Amino acid sequence: MTEADVAAVIIMAAGAGTRMKSVRPKVLHEVAGRSMIAHAIKAANALAPDRLAVVIGHEREQVQQHLAEFAPHVLIAVQEQPLGTGDAVRAGLSVLPDISGEIVVTSGDVPLLKGETLRRLVASHRQTGSAVTVLTAVVPDATGYGRIIRAGDQVAAIIEHRDADQAQLEINEINSGIYVFDADLLRAGVDALTTANAQGELYLPGVVAFARQRGLGVNGYVLTDYLQAEGVNDRIELAARNAELNRRILRHWMAEGVTVVDPKTTWIHADVDLAADVTLKPGTSLEGATSVASGAVIGPDTTLIDVEVAENAEVVRTHAVLSVIGAGASVGPFAYLRPGTQVGERAKIGAFVEAKNAQLGAGAKVPHLTYCGDAIIGEGSNIGAGTIFANYDGVTKSVTRVGAHSFVGSDSVLVAPLTIADGAYVAAGSVVTRDVGAGELAVARGQQRNVAGWVDRRRSGTAAQEAAKEAARTRDNTDGENQ
């Protein structure tokens, strides 16, 4: 094994999380865009374990399906009844029957825990030659946590909050619930656990007592960043962990050269990637696997979900999903980019434009008030205000192709499937149902006629009639003066 490898990691993720008051298992709730169990697996992967087991129980089908989507390599163990952390680890060991060496036990609801912290924990375990190493933390409020009882540098015992006396309740060094065990000791210790405690459960800290009774070393590695050990038990704590992880993510990106104008209103998910010299204005939320290249300006009031933004693009007051925005492109304000939209270099999607599965070539413009669905627009073309790409006939969605350097006049309807060739024009107000050839002008509208005297006949006695009469008198007087 390399220095970083361990034999196995067991992640306890079987709890019901009743205080969350949710039909979704607690570990599937998200912090910074990742489920809490995904955070736990990412941290565990930093140890390069030979095997990784996740113990599930409550709503196990949901958790198992989620794991199959993003971590198919994990081993699934089932805790049939919520009989405590010791029983959860027993379930985890059932899928690791032949493991020897070091086993790290961690939890599925500590989303701030870093892989580097686990690596340091294992390093401390090896350095001290201990049979057990407990990750501890000194916290301002230890309510609800197991207390660490010290005997010099060694951990003498872990006393659960419900079982602690008054003196022990004053201790503020707590058990994080994260450990490194020798595999053989862990098996023997779990088998020896009893339910002689206030909860009537099998407590994993009992393995610490088991080790001490045999004269084996129990090391306590103190985590200075105690928030990494903070779990999530309800929606209040979920919001607090989200806020704290977001604060850390923002600090990281600002240190990397990203300008965040207002950190209080800016949210960035854990899997977002940003380049130096990106500017994020107030009210920006970057989610999923969004990436933003150097020089781009995002916001204000913009949400990008799984969006790729190239160099020097500007995205203002926009909601975009699964889209690509090219270098130097401009999007917004008040634009909606739906999945499949690709905005080419220096192209523009302007105010109150909705695009879906639309491809804009370099320098193409859709500036105003347009629905642009299932469209391929060539470079340098301009789509006038109020244009509708009519892509759906009630059964089939079809594509409209607009060639390079073409022009579509305002208030036009382009009825797909349709091709408008290079260098073609569409007159304003047209409903185009047939292809337009290169260099042609398409005019598809009724011929205008003006009906004289209509207001006198049909709107007699209205303000419109009086205005029309006044305009006629003014015209007649002007004509007389000019004669």
Provide the 10 A C-beta neighbour count for residue 247.
Answer: 12
Residue 368: active-site member: yes
For residues 229 and 231, what is the distance between their CA atoms, to the nearest angstrom? 6
Q: What is the largest CA-CA distance in the chain?
A: 122
End-to-end CA distance of the chain: 107
Find the catalytic residue in 58, 161, 368, 405: 368
Label each residue of the chain as H, E or C.
CCCCCCCEEEEEECCCCHHHCCCCCHHHCEECCEEHHHHHHHHHHCCCCCEEEEEECCCHHHHHHHHHHHCCCCEEEECCCCCCHHHHHHHHHCCCCCCCCEEEEEECCCCCCCHHHHHHHHHHHHHHCCCEEEEEEECCCCCCCCEEEEECCEEEEEECHHHCCHHHHCCCEEEEEEEEEEHHHHHHHHHCCCCCCCCCCCCCCHHHHHHHHCCCCEEEEEECCHHHHCCCCCHHHHHHHHHHHHHHHHHHHHHCCCEECCHHHCEECCCCEECCCCEECCCEEEECCCEECCCCEECCCEEEECCEECCCCEECCEEEECCEECCCCEECCCEEECCCCEECCCCEEEECCEEECCEECCCCEEEECCEEECEEECCCCEECCCCEEECECCCCECCEEECCCCEECCCCEEECCEEECCCCEECCCCEECCCECCCCEECCCCCCCCCCCHHHHHCCCCHHHHHHHHHHHHHHHHHHHHC
Q: Which residues contact 241 (CB under 8 A, 6 or more apart)?
A: 31, 111, 112, 230, 232
For residues 134 and 159, what is the distance between their CA atoms, to the nearest angstrom? 13
Beta-strand pair 154-159/147-151:
antiparallel
For residues 225 and 228, what is the distance between their CA atoms, to the nearest angstrom? 6
Distances (CA, A) of 395 to 318, 326, 416: 30, 32, 12
For residues 312 and 326, what is the distance between their CA atoms, to the nearest angstrom? 9
Active site amino acids: 368
